[in-house]
Amino acid sequence: MKMSDLSWLTARPIAHRGLHDMNRSCWENTLCAFSDAIENGYAIECDVHLSADGVPMVFHDDALKRLTGEEGFIHGRSADQLANLPIGGTRDHVPTLREALALVDGRVPLVIELKGSEGHDGALVAEVAKTLEAYRGKAAIMSFEHRLLRDMARLAPSLPRGLTAEGHKGDAIEAHFSMLATGISFVSYHVMELPNPFVTFVRERLSMPVITWTVRTPEAVTLTREQADQMTFEGFRP
């Protein structure tokens, strides 16, 4: 997959953590939410941390409590232990990235956010890149963490990679501009902080695709249509 060919990234709306129902019966970042996104033809955004034994796991929070009711942190449990933790009291468990890839199987695009957990994410980029090596579907990686973006440039140069970002002035914008040197190929930006000089520059001067997060309201839909190229949405069906 060539990094220059990213038309698939903006071709369809992206379901934030899958097409969940706001954690009523089908929870975020579960195989249930991914199955529903596939069935409805949406791309999927998901989040990844490393388990204690270095396996990429699909999970948003560093702490386990909100999603599993358990104390502790995702980096404190092995992949097998996490597989036995029910999400929200449902039949869904914490999936590995490999499980998610097997389920999606190229049917819709995947946008994978690598979550920073300082002191526990040193091998994250390498392990995600290794997991994606044999995957033939369309997939991109992204992160808020600048150290992970630098790792991506070094360890996963052939994967489309993006900066996840927020802020609209001052130091935040300067920091975002500095990340262009890492060879990012797209940007995922906080929808309510558009427009801003960075997003305008990458879209108009670099022709770089920009997706927004997280779109939940008609106002945010309008902002995305005016200032970006596609939305990462939640709580409704565009």
**For residues 186 and 113, what is the distance between their CA atoms, to the nearest angstrom?**
13
Given a cut of 90, whether residue 167 has pLDDT beyond it is yes
Which backbone phi and psi does 75 adopt, to 5 degrees?
Answer: -75, -5
Indicate the pLDDT class of residue 4, thresholds 50, 70 and 90. Answer: low
- In this prediction, residues 141-164 reach a mean pLDDT of 97
| pLDDT tens-place string over residues 168-218 | 889 999 999 999 999 999 999 999 999 999 999 999 999 999 999 999 999
Q: pLDDT of 95-143, one tens digit each?
A: 999 999 999 999 999 999 999 888 999 999 999 999 999 999 999 999 9
pLDDT at 5: 85
In angstroms, the CA 41 to CA 112 distance is: 17
Mean pLDDT of 152-159: 96
**CATH code for the structural domain at 7-233:** 3.20.20.190
Number of alpha helices (DSSP H) and beta strands (DSSP E) in the chain: 9, 9
In the structure, what pLDDT confidence band is assigned to residue 2 with cuts at 50, 70 and 90? very low
pLDDT at 3: 46
pTM above 0.95, yes or no: yes
- In the chain, where the domains are located: 7-233
Nearest to 100 by CA among 119, 89, 113, 88: 113
Contact 82, 72 (CB under 8 A): no
pLDDT in tens, 60-91: 999 999 999 999 999 999 999 999 999 999 99
3-state DSSP helix/strand/coil % of the chain, to nearest 5:
35, 20, 45
